[in-house]
Chain A
Amino acid sequence: MGAKLMKLRKKLFSYFVILLMTVLVFGCSSNSSSSKEDKKKEETKPEVTTVGPDDGAKLDMWLFVDLHQQFYTEMLNRWNDQHPDKQIQIKFTVYPYADMHTKLTLAVQSGEGIPDLADVEISQFPNYLDGEVPWLKLNDYVEPYKADLVTSRLDAYEKGGNYYGVPTHVGAMVMYYNTEILQQNGIDYTQIKTWDDFTAAGEKLKEATNGEIYMTTVDTGGGDWLTLAMSEYGESWVKDPENANVQLKSIENMLTMQQEWLEKGIAEVTPGGQIDAEEGYSTVVNGKVAAFPKAIWYMSRFTDYMPEMSGKFAIAPAPVFEEGQPRSNGAGGTGTVIYKDSKNAELAAEFMTWAKLSEEGGEQIWNILGFDPVNTKVWTNQAVTHNPENKYVKYFVNNPYDTLLEIQDEVNLIKTVPITTTINEVFNLTTLNEILENGADVKEALKAAQEEVDFEQE
């Protein structure tokens, strides 16, 4: 009897152990994964917004800028009002910049979980054009608007004659001048036409201020000056995308000139590497720099981070090496892509091209985002562009569109292709530092850069 009881106990105990093990293994794993899931949900929850009626065609969209969602929401509400037969509901998810692109890369690679719509930043765009392109060709959808568009922006997202992305803005490069500093020192920025004029003004400023205020700052961590130079000479380092060439006259001239500025003390290296960074803003706010080139979208940095400089800055076309050269180029950008196997791909394309390329959409791009819209009809609509209530119109000394209209036909595109990532990396990390910080010979440094680029091109 006792022995039997012992055996039963033993048996029960071992069953219990096995049960415990099972619970531990499965319970633990499911537990931890669900808590992770919850955490994830918590992190992204506030950033998911669904707009539109429940019976509308359902679309998923990924973005990386919160403000852009406001614009899409506005356009979606207008669309649904105007098209009772084509109702759309979009679920917007805003991720941090790197997260969104990483997630999209992995989705595209595995072919699973690709959203119907996604905002892709221009420098990331070539990543998704390799191999079989997962995006819908937009040529037919763009056609109705094409006559009014700055078409170089469509080319930014083109491959093999097909457009794969809907551009958001032109991103025209302009010169921002601190008129307060310049006036105090007797310099009229409207008279600066060439880089020689610019250099002369810099020398004058240096003398007047004992070298305390620099005419400009040169970048070691960004390529804005270089793309501007290429545009002026009509060159591009990726004219042949398979055989990128960085040893160009435009780049050499620009960097040689910048080295001279540094030697003469009329320019300094931008703290933080480029002007669109915390250190850059504080340099501008401290009145240490009189002028710098940056795209039109930099206006929002002024209103957001440098409100105290209101009424002190003017926008003008960039100087050129030789008069008659183009004075701008398109910089930065976001292309919206549409997943070609999406159930509602066609409707999505119709909506997105209307939202961003129509005149109505362009007006909102200016009003909500403060960008120079791709549809140039907006540029001449005085009621929109000179609206005295607009914060950008209020902030700057002159109207941004006066300059934009002047350079309308000069906004060239330096295309972003797969090798561009490498070129940017080589220049922004090594070459520009060598030349501007360490005073390396421009030709030699460019040769070294070319070798690094060639290593990737083999």
Chain B
Amino acid sequence: MKKIQAFLFSQKIAPYVFVLPFIISLAFFWIYPMISTISMSFHKIGNGYSEFIGLANYEKLLGDGVFHTAVKNSVIYTILTLVILIPIPMLCAFLLNSKSVLGKRVYKSILYLPALVSVVVAGILFRYMFSEMDSGLMNQILNFFGFESQEWLKNWGTGMFVLLLLATWRWTGVNTLYFEAGLSSIDEVLYESAKVDGANAWQRFWYITLPLLKPTRIYVTTISIYAGLAMFLESFMIYGSNNSPKNIGLTIVGYLYRRGIEKNDLGYASAVGLVLLIVALSISMVYLLSSGMFKKEDK
């Protein structure tokens, strides 16, 4: 009894008890699957058997043209979403934060609304909007202005455009909210003193807003990198399946799904998954290191 009491009241042990739930869930849902994936990536896995094949899966990945297409699509998509979804929401947040704009809440709600629509619903809507038939909404608009109908979802450029448009439509509002929160934490006094010193609006934005928004920017960029590389459902819904002409809509996760589930080759799919993990980790790490996230704050 005494021992149990001593255990429960020990200041050394209590912290561990408090973090235990997190550790357990991390171990179950993250560490165990990861170790299992690493082991599976060295195996050929079929119905009721699993055979060690060393690095064969990785060697195959090197020469796999479809995988390279998937990586190319995912990386370009990620970069373009960053190019669009960092500056535009920042600008929106800046505008919404300025005193001269009326009806801020209305704009905010409108911007945020698309994020509440399920990707499945949005994807199907976009599929019909960008249908190659003359009756598709976008083609009707094009025809109205005298342009020819486009086969939107059959070419790489227009296909990527549709994916990006969906991402922009869905995520602008969310990112704007992040930046708005960042903006509202900047002390008004700084702007006032800058004004007194004769700084114009642009200088105030460049020398005060931008640097002080850095933590928010880093956060938004990091989650955007992850979201871009992990994109799957958007493409799946827009093309109605995991298959797009000439694989223009195939992403790394889509390829993982195709190999693991559709073609019943979980060993190879595990290798694809690990490559995705390494790519995502290294990009994020390089970014976080270069932005000085791990340095101690200079005072």
Do residues B46 and A131 form an inter-chain contact, with CB atoms below 8 A? yes
The interface bits of chain B over 236-269 (1 if a CB of A lies within 8 angstroms of the residue's CB, else 0) are 0000000111110000000000000111101000
Q: Is A128 interfacial (CB 8 A cutoff)?
A: yes
Do residues A131 and B48 form an inter-chain contact, with CB atoms below 8 A? yes
Do residues A109 and B45 form an inter-chain contact, with CB atoms below 8 A? yes
- Size band of the interface chain B makes with A: 20 to 34
Do residues B264 and A282 form an inter-chain contact, with CB atoms below 8 A? no
Chain B residues positioned under 8 Å from A102 (CB to CB): 261
Chain B nearest CB, measured from A425 CB (Å)? 7
Do residues B244 and A131 form an inter-chain contact, with CB atoms below 8 A? no
Partner of B263, one of A220, A421, A455: A421
Chain A residues positioned under 8 Å from B47 (CB to CB): 108-109, 128, 130-134
In the docked arrangement, what's the CA distance between A109 and B17, Å?
Answer: 38
Do residues B245 and A21 form an inter-chain contact, with CB atoms below 8 A? no
Chain B residues positioned under 8 Å from A211 (CB to CB): none
In the docked arrangement, what's the CA distance between A134 and B135, Å?
Answer: 48
Do residues A279 and B64 form an inter-chain contact, with CB atoms below 8 A? no
The interface bits of chain A over 124-142 (1 if a CB of B lies within 8 angstroms of the residue's CB, else 0) are 0001101111100000000
Partner of B49, one of A25, A132, A273, A455: A132
In the docked arrangement, what's the CA distance between A130 and B47, Å?
Answer: 6
Do residues B64 and A18 form an inter-chain contact, with CB atoms below 8 A? no
- Majority-rule SS of B interface residues: helix
B154-189 residues with Cβ-Cβ distance < 8 A to A are: 154
Do residues B64 and A455 form an inter-chain contact, with CB atoms below 8 A? yes
For B21, B48, B264, the residue with the greatest tally of chain A CB atoms inside 10 Å of its CB is: B264
Do residues B264 and A271 form an inter-chain contact, with CB atoms below 8 A? no
Chain A residues positioned under 8 Å from B246 (CB to CB): 429-430, 433-434
The interface bits of chain A over 218-245 (1 if a CB of B lies within 8 angstroms of the residue's CB, else 0) are 0011000000000000000000000000
Q: Is B198 interfacial (CB 8 A cutoff)?
A: no
In the docked arrangement, what's the CA distance between A455 and B68, Å?
Answer: 14
Chain B residues positioned under 8 Å from A24 (CB to CB): 21
Chain A residues positioned under 8 Å from B49 (CB to CB): 131-132
Q: Is A437 interfacial (CB 8 A cutoff)?
A: yes
**With contacts A429-B244, A455-B63 known, is A21 near B8, CB below 8 A?**
no
A-B contact count (CB 8 A): 77
Chain B residue at smallest Cβ distance from A128? B47
A399-458 residues with Cβ-Cβ distance < 8 A to B are: 421-422, 425, 428-430, 433-434, 437, 452, 455
Chain B residues positioned under 8 Å from A422 (CB to CB): 263
In the docked arrangement, what's the CA distance between A452 and B67, Å?
Answer: 12
Do residues B133 and A279 form an inter-chain contact, with CB atoms below 8 A? yes
Do residues B65 and A452 form an inter-chain contact, with CB atoms below 8 A? yes
Chain A residues positioned under 8 Å from B263 (CB to CB): 127, 421-422
Chain B residues positioned under 8 Å from A455 (CB to CB): 63-65
In the docked arrangement, what's the CA distance between A130 and B131, Å?
Answer: 39
Q: Is A14 interfacial (CB 8 A cutoff)?
A: yes
Chain B residue at smallest Cβ distance from A430? B246
Do residues B133 and A433 form an inter-chain contact, with CB atoms below 8 A? no
**With contacts A24-B21, A102-B261, A279-B131 known, is A428 near B45, CB below 8 A?**
no
Do residues A282 and B133 form an inter-chain contact, with CB atoms below 8 A? yes
In the docked arrangement, what's the CA distance between A180 and B259, Å?
Answer: 46
Do residues B17 and A430 form an inter-chain contact, with CB atoms below 8 A? no
Chain B residues positioned under 8 Å from A133 (CB to CB): 47
B118-162 residues with Cβ-Cβ distance < 8 A to A are: 131-133, 135, 154
Chain A nearest CB, measured from B123 CB (Å)? 15
Do residues A433 and B63 form an inter-chain contact, with CB atoms below 8 A? no
Do residues A21 and B266 form an inter-chain contact, with CB atoms below 8 A? no
Chain B nearest CB, measured from A250 CB (Å)? 24
Chain B nearest CB, measured from A453 CB (Å)? 12
The interface bits of chain B over 39-76 (1 if a CB of A lies within 8 angstroms of the residue's CB, else 0) are 00000011111000000000000011110000000000
Chain B residues positioned under 8 Å from A15 (CB to CB): 8
**With contacts A14-B8, A452-B65, A455-B65 known, is A425 near B243, CB below 8 A?**
yes
Q: Is A105 interfacial (CB 8 A cutoff)?
A: yes
Do residues B132 and A132 form an inter-chain contact, with CB atoms below 8 A? no
In the docked arrangement, what's the CA distance between A282 and B246, Å?
Answer: 24
**With contacts A279-B131, A433-B154 known, is A220 near B46, CB below 8 A?**
no
In the docked arrangement, what's the CA distance between A132 and B48, Å?
Answer: 7
Q: Is A161 interfacial (CB 8 A cutoff)?
A: no
Q: Is A324 interfacial (CB 8 A cutoff)?
A: no
In the docked arrangement, what's the CA distance between A15 and B5, Å?
Answer: 10
Q: Is A111 interfacial (CB 8 A cutoff)?
A: yes
Chain B nearest CB, measured from A79 CB (Å)? 31
Chain B residues positioned under 8 Å from A452 (CB to CB): 65-66
Do residues B133 and A21 form an inter-chain contact, with CB atoms below 8 A? no
Chain A residues positioned under 8 Å from B20 (CB to CB): 21, 25
Q: Is B9 interfacial (CB 8 A cutoff)?
A: yes
Do residues B8 and A111 form an inter-chain contact, with CB atoms below 8 A? no
The interface bits of chain A over 100-136 (1 if a CB of B lies within 8 angstroms of the residue's CB, else 0) are 0010010011010000000000000001101111100
Partner of B17, one of A18, A130, A220: A18
In the docked arrangement, what's the CA distance between A200 and B290, Å?
Answer: 68
Chain A nearest CB, measured from B264 CB (Å)? 4
**With contacts A14-B8, A25-B21 known, is A279 near B132, CB below 8 A?**
yes
Chain A residue at smallest Cβ distance from B258? A425
Do residues A105 and B264 form an inter-chain contact, with CB atoms below 8 A? yes
Chain A residues positioned under 8 Å from B66 (CB to CB): 452
Chain A residue at smallest Cβ distance from B66? A452
In the docked arrangement, what's the CA distance between A21 and B22, Å?
Answer: 12
Chain B residue at smallest Cβ distance from A279? B133
Do residues B133 and A429 form an inter-chain contact, with CB atoms below 8 A? no
In the docked arrangement, what's the CA distance between A282 and B131, Å?
Answer: 12
Give me the interface of A with B, judged by CB distance under 8 Å: 14-15, 18, 21, 24-25, 102, 105, 108-109, 111, 127-128, 130-134, 220-221, 271-273, 279, 282, 421-422, 425, 428-430, 433-434, 437, 452, 455
In the complex, 25 of the A-B residue pairs with CB atoms within 8 angstroms, ordered by the A residue number, are A18-B17, A21-B21, A24-B21, A25-B21, A102-B261, A105-B261, A105-B264, A130-B47, A130-B264, A131-B47, A131-B48, A131-B49, A132-B48, A132-B49, A133-B47, A221-B243, A271-B132, A273-B245, A279-B132, A421-B263, A425-B243, A428-B243, A437-B245, A452-B65, A455-B64
Give me the interface of B with A, judged by CB distance under 8 Å: 8-9, 17-18, 20-21, 24, 45-49, 63-66, 131-133, 135, 154, 243-247, 261-264, 266
